[in-house]
Amino acid sequence: MYLKGRSHIARRGPSILTGIECFKQAIELDPDFAFAYAGYADALSLTASYALVHPQKVIHKVKEAAEKAIALDPEHSEPYCSLGFYYTFFERNWKEAKKNFLTAIKLNPQHTQTHYWYGLDYLCWVEGNFEEAEKHALMAIRLEPLSAICHIFYSLILHSAGNFKKALMLSKAGIELDGNSFFCHLSEGNAYMGLQLFDEAIISYQNTIRLSNNHQFPANAIIWAYCKTGNFEKANSLFQELIERSTKEYVSSTLLGLSSAYMNNLDAAFIYFDKAFNDYESLIVSLKYEHWVPEVVLTDSRYQVLLDKIGYP
């Protein structure tokens, strides 16, 4: 059940919810199995990060599960990785985040998830240290050369660094390894956006929407692509669908803010960004270095105020 849980959360999107149930069953079968608590902590973190639930509903459970795993086995690396993720996104405590990621690597240098989470989530998005982030992404692929998610995290790091051509290559390698992974097709669309191949990006996002049952990540990203092609009518129609969805389910304010910005509604964008900050959304941390942030945001005086509030090191 633990291994099934890991397999499901690696696909991201709605599959994370299936992974949670697997970890719960593993804990029920063996309440002293430390790995299951670490997996449960990761799955809960991802439900918040992928806007499947409101972050404040799960973040206290994340820390609790990770600390339970450490209490059961303090020499086990995975829960320290879980805490690295937790401190990066939910407390924005950079010192504790880095310490826990490095502890995880020291305990098990062959744990791939630590390498790609530390690489993207902390080194890339928090410190902007793209060169070091790439080293960890390459290490993850060397350790698990047939893992689609390792390739996709490398693709995302390359995207953040502005190397869109290589990011596309890694995304396509991920699709070859797991053609049903929504994460792989989403990454491909992001790379096409960086290369300004917007029609190709739209096709990738449409594939992602189909594979993920209209997950809000590609549902927002395709709005950005339509804006880039000048099809604001289509973009606005899709945006209104997301607003309607937000009355029934949790929709990421970071993404709604970005979509508002692409449609040149900057006042709405920064209202959404402030809400995302207060809701402990993980994606808000990406706004300093990610290339999916449009130029109109970067040149607005409120952008620096937001970065100062997030408090990057």
Mind giving me the DSSP string for 55-91?
A: GGGTHHHHHHHHHHHHHH-TT-SHHHHHHHHHHHHTS
CA–CA dist 290, 285 (Å, integer): 9
Tens digits of residue pLDDT in 11-60: 777 789 999 999 999 999 999 999 999 999 999 999 999 888 999 999 99
Take residue 40 and report the two structure tokens written for it. Answer: 């449960």
- pLDDT of 228-268, one tens digit each? 999 999 999 999 999 999 999 999 999 999 999 999 999 99
- Residues 128-137 have a mean pLDDT of 98
Delimit the domains of the chain by residue range.
1-93
| Distance between CA atoms of residues 43 and 10, nearest Å | 10
What is the tens place of the pLDDT at every residue in 92-105?
999 999 999 999 99
Q: How sure is the predictor about 4, in pLDDT bands with cuts at 50, 70 and 90?
A: very high
Cα–Cα distance for residue pair 292/149, rounded to 1 Å: 20
Model confidence over 275-285: pLDDT tens digits? 999 999 999 99
CA distance 182 to 206: 10
C-alpha to C-alpha distance for 140 and 255, rounded to whole angstroms: 28
In the block, tokens 């995290």 appear at: 153
- What pLDDT score was predicted for residue 160? 96
- Give the pLDDT score at 310: 97
- Contact 289/128 with Cβ under 8 angstroms? yes
- pLDDT score at 237: 97
- Residue 311 neighbours by CB distance under 10 Å: 9
Task: Compute CA distances 177 → 123, 138, 152, 171, 183, whole Å.
Answer: 26, 16, 11, 10, 12
Q: What is the pLDDT of residue 142?
A: 97
- How far, in Å, CA of 31 to CA of 255, rounded? 38
- The pair of structure tokens assigned to 33 is 């199995």
Tell me the pLDDT of the chain averaged across its residues.
96
Residue 131: CB atoms within 10 Å: 8
pLDDT band at residue 149, thresholds of 50, 70 and 90? very high
pLDDT at 10: 82
- The CATH-assigned architecture of domain 1-93 is Alpha Horseshoe (1.25)
pLDDT in tens, 270-306: 999 999 999 999 999 999 999 999 999 999 999 999 9
The predicted structure's pLDDT at residue 251: 94
Give pLDDT, residue 255: 97
pLDDT at 69 over 80: yes
Q: How far is CA 286 from the centre of its chain?
A: 9
What pLDDT, on the 0 to 100 scale, is given for residue 180?
87
Check residue 52 and give its pLDDT. Answer: 87
